[in-house]
Chain A
Amino acid sequence: MTTVEAAVVDTPAAGTATPRRRRVLRRLLRAPLALTGLIVLVVAMLVALLAPVLAPYPPTQTSFASTFLPPGSPGHVLGTDSLGRDILSRIIYGTRASLVVGVLSVILALVVGVPLGLLAGYFGRMDSVISRFTDVVLAFPFLILAVGLAAIRGASLSNAALAIGIAQIPGMIRVSRSETLRLKGLDYVSAAVAEGASDLWILSRHILPNAVSVLIVQATVAIPAAILGEAVLSFLGLGIQPPAPSLGTMLSEAQRYIARAPWTAVMPGLAIIALTLAFNLCGDGLRDALDPKASRR
């Protein structure tokens, strides 16, 4: 073609762009909301790790003399519940339980879901099988699934984590599958195939590393959902069993006395909100930082 481009040796560089990772980090740290979320998360994780040290009382210690103490009472910053247990301590341990369940279940979902998604996206024949499998799991709404599992295996923390993890698997499969499909179509993959790279090589060296950012974002969405899931299950009595502290069980116990001691319901709820909000803010911040379209702001 007799184009003007033919007259030039090089096409101009697309701006003297800063390296991608630094740009992402810069964007993330610039957003005050995401930063706040990150700080809250770090604090929460420290609290969870140092629970035995930080909690002023053992979480299951009852005291019939000091039941229903309002927040601000001497010795009980957040008050006590119907059995005289210190709410602050229970919240600290409950947060730990929530984080444990949240992270475990998402790890389960990642370990099972990502490879399945990669395979489904890469190999057409496996796609239909895996997609049917995903559909079947999805056919059971989360609580129905949890109910079924509780009926079979009983109610406990580990079964709650299992139920939540299973419920998260389809999401992970979907995300990694669609990323794989997208990446598979890119030129450098075709180039690798042309050079004789094996499927495993391509999957592990070319596709997976590039899908990581999307997966991280998905994980930051999945964890707060898992935390909420644990709370719901415990609330209904299908998860962590009393007297073990859990934010969900605290709320179900509080329901009975809500008129008399509203703080027993408000406090654990606020703790859940703080956790999930922090994760969501971080996740949002991360997504915005990774998304090139954000620069149009």
Chain B
Amino acid sequence: MTTSTRSDLTPAPDESTAGEPLLQVRDLSVRFRTEDGTLSAVDGVSFDARAGELLAVVGESGCGKSVTAMALSGLLPGSATVTGSVRLDGVELVGAGAATLRQARGGKIAYIFQEPMTSLNPVFTVGRQISEVLRVHEGMSKKQALARAAELLDLVGIPSARERLKQYPHQLSGGMRQRVMIAMSVACNPRVLVADEPTTALDVTVQAGILDVLRDLRDRLGAAVVLITHDLGVVADVADRVMVMYAGRVVERGEVHEFFAHPRHQYSVGLLGAVPAARVHGTRQRLREIPGLVPVLAQQPDACTFADRCPAADDTCRTSRPPLTRAPQSAHEAACWHPATEVNRAVPEAGAGEAEART
């Protein structure tokens, strides 16, 4: 039934900017047991997260990007079955014991979640929640931990850090809460930082600040940042590399400028085609839409799951699953039998499409 394809991820010769891979994910698959049967949420996902690099994972709601993120350190509920391999600093996390996972979490891999409103415990002070990580993983005393917590709040740009420590989450604004979450997650200098749609629940004006913090951390700490988002503007703004997911599979991966200039998977083309381009001499263009719906899959078929909606699909696409293949002379990969070529688009600026999209 499921034929997962292994993809070769030996780095291409021209990839020298980023550091060594801190997180190596190979063939990660997640299935859920539900009332209506089994649900295949993630299928054969593989990627590397490298030091000092920000990898953006893009896709629509339901494409499995959040599930992938949660699966990395075993944060999924009991109804999920995770297969594959996740190596963090050489330690295998899939199927690892509770002690191993606990050690990895917070200390080596940290998370920033989407909803800052509910992700902080309402009955404990900010200071207590941040210092908790430090005391558990670094063995600091209460006093030391609080002092360090104040430093961290400073680091993420929260004013009057000392006073904030004594406050409760409900006393802070959404943007500040998210900064607290970031401070909490980088407290122990994690090697990998996973941010699951960190700006989605925030105002646009606050978004930029959060993105700045993330960018800063990537540069200063040299951590590998995995940023999950559905906003292409954010991708263009902060990402170094991008990975596109569709219905639980990776369909395209590569360096971000290359992606925007020459998208190869037909789905990516469709996504970028829907980006409102800057107006030229007052002409209007209708937003190009991808017809159809994202499938909810019980099992992963041996075919291209995008075929039903793809303008370039043919029989091959419907009968056999395309592997991730590299374009000639580049590190850019796409899982497509008929990758797009000769497409040239201007890189959209973050927020540029705002006004048009609101019509």
Q: Given contacts A1-B354, A2-B233, are A7 and B291 in contact (CB under 8 A)?
A: no
- Which residues does chain A contribute within 8 Å of B350, judged by CB atoms? 2
Q: Given contacts A1-B231, A2-B233, are A8 and B289 in contact (CB under 8 A)?
A: yes
Q: Given contacts A2-B276, A295-B34, are A7 and B270 in contact (CB under 8 A)?
A: yes
- Which residues does chain B contribute within 8 Å of A13, judged by CB atoms? 293
Across the interface, do B233 and A7 meet the contact criterion of CB distance under 8 Å? no
Stretch from B7-15, B57-65, B177-185 that touches the partner: B57-65
* Residue A198, interface by CB 8 Å: no
Question: Quick one: which of B318-359 are within 8 Å of A by CB?
Answer: 348, 350, 352-354, 357
Chain A, residue nearest B358 (CB): A1
> Nearest Cβ distance between residue A290 and chain B, in whole angstroms?
15
* Residue B294, interface by CB 8 Å: yes
Across the interface, do A7 and B357 meet the contact criterion of CB distance under 8 Å? no
* Residue A9, interface by CB 8 Å: yes
Across the interface, do B290 and A1 meet the contact criterion of CB distance under 8 Å? no
* Residue B70, interface by CB 8 Å: no
Q: Given contacts A10-B293, A12-B296, are A1 and B353 in contact (CB under 8 A)?
A: yes
> Nearest Cβ distance between residue B353 and chain A, in whole angstroms?
4
* Residue B274, interface by CB 8 Å: yes
- Which residues does chain A contribute within 8 Å of B163, judged by CB atoms? none
Complex Cα distance, B290 from A5, in Å, reads 10
Cβ-Cβ contact count across A and B, 8 Å cutoff: 70
* Residue B256, interface by CB 8 Å: no
Complex Cα distance, B289 from A7, in Å, reads 5
Q: Given contacts A8-B289, A295-B34, are A2 and B275 in contact (CB under 8 A)?
A: yes
Across the interface, do B271 and A15 meet the contact criterion of CB distance under 8 Å? no
Question: Quick one: which of A8-29 are within 8 Å of B by CB?
Answer: 8-13, 15, 17
Complex Cα distance, B294 from A2, in Å, reads 19
- Which residues does chain A contribute within 8 Å of B287, judged by CB atoms? 6
Complex Cα distance, B123 from A63, in Å, reads 67
Across the interface, do B58 and A4 meet the contact criterion of CB distance under 8 Å? yes
A18-44 to B contact mask, C-beta < 8 Å, 1/0: 000000000000000000000000000
Query: Top 9 nearest A-B pairs by Cβ distance?
Result: A7-B274, A2-B353, A2-B233, A4-B230, A12-B293, A295-B35, A2-B232, A7-B271, A12-B294
* Residue B273, interface by CB 8 Å: yes
- Which residues does chain A contribute within 8 Å of B292, judged by CB atoms? 8-10
Across the interface, do B230 and A7 meet the contact criterion of CB distance under 8 Å? no
Complex Cα distance, B275 from A109, in Å, reads 59
Complex Cα distance, B39 from A12, in Å, reads 15
Complex Cα distance, B275 from A6, in Å, reads 8
How many chain B residues touch A (CB < 8 A): the figure is: 36
- Which residues does chain B contribute within 8 Å of A4, judged by CB atoms? 58-60, 230-232, 271
- Which residues does chain B contribute within 8 Å of A295, judged by CB atoms? 34-35
* Residue B203, interface by CB 8 Å: no
> Which of A3, A9, A17 contacts B289 (CB under 8 A)?
A9
Chain A, residue nearest B350 (CB): A2
Chain B residues close to A by CB (< 8 Å): 34-36, 58-62, 77, 79, 230-233, 270-271, 273-276, 287-296, 348, 350, 352-354, 357
> Nearest Cβ distance between residue B217 and chain A, in whole angstroms?
24
Complex Cα distance, B232 from A15, in Å, reads 26
- Which residues does chain B contribute within 8 Å of A7, judged by CB atoms? 270-271, 273-274, 288-290
Complex Cα distance, B36 from A104, in Å, reads 41
Across the interface, do B290 and A8 meet the contact criterion of CB distance under 8 Å? yes
Chain B, residue nearest A15 (CB): B296
Across the interface, do B61 and A11 meet the contact criterion of CB distance under 8 Å? yes
Complex Cα distance, B230 from A11, in Å, reads 14
- Which residues does chain A contribute within 8 Å of B294, judged by CB atoms? 8, 12
Supply 4 further A-B pairs (C-beta < 8 A) apart from A8-B290, A13-B293.
A4-B231, A8-B292, A9-B290, A12-B62
> Nearest Cβ distance between residue A278 and chain B, in whole angstroms?
27
- Which residues does chain B contribute within 8 Å of A9, judged by CB atoms? 289-292
Chain A, residue nearest B275 (CB): A2
> Nearest Cβ distance between residue B87 and chain A, in whole angstroms?
29
- Which residues does chain B contribute within 8 Å of A6, judged by CB atoms? 274-275, 287, 289, 357
Across the interface, do A2 and B290 meet the contact criterion of CB distance under 8 Å? no
Complex Cα distance, B294 from A9, in Å, reads 10
- Which residues does chain B contribute within 8 Å of A17, judged by CB atoms? 36
- Which residues does chain A contribute within 8 Å of B353, judged by CB atoms? 1-2
- Which residues does chain A contribute within 8 Å of B289, judged by CB atoms? 6-9
Across the interface, do B62 and A2 meet the contact criterion of CB distance under 8 Å? no
Across the interface, do A2 and B60 meet the contact criterion of CB distance under 8 Å? no
- Which residues does chain A contribute within 8 Å of B296, judged by CB atoms? 12, 15
> Nearest Cβ distance between residue B159 and chain A, in whole angstroms?
29
Q: Indicate the member of A8, A10, A15, A296 with the most B CB atoms within 10 Å.
A: A8
Complex Cα distance, B353 from A10, in Å, reads 20
> Nearest Cβ distance between residue B25 and chain A, in whole angstroms?
22
- Which residues does chain A contribute within 8 Å of B230, judged by CB atoms? 3-5
Across the interface, do A3 and B231 meet the contact criterion of CB distance under 8 Å? yes
- Which residues does chain A contribute within 8 Å of B231, judged by CB atoms? 1-4
- Which residues does chain A contribute within 8 Å of B36, judged by CB atoms? 15, 17
Across the interface, do A5 and B60 meet the contact criterion of CB distance under 8 Å? yes
> Nearest Cβ distance between residue B48 and chain A, in whole angstroms?
23
Across the interface, do A8 and B34 meet the contact criterion of CB distance under 8 Å? no
Chain B, residue nearest A297 (CB): B35
Complex Cα distance, B352 from A1, in Å, reads 8
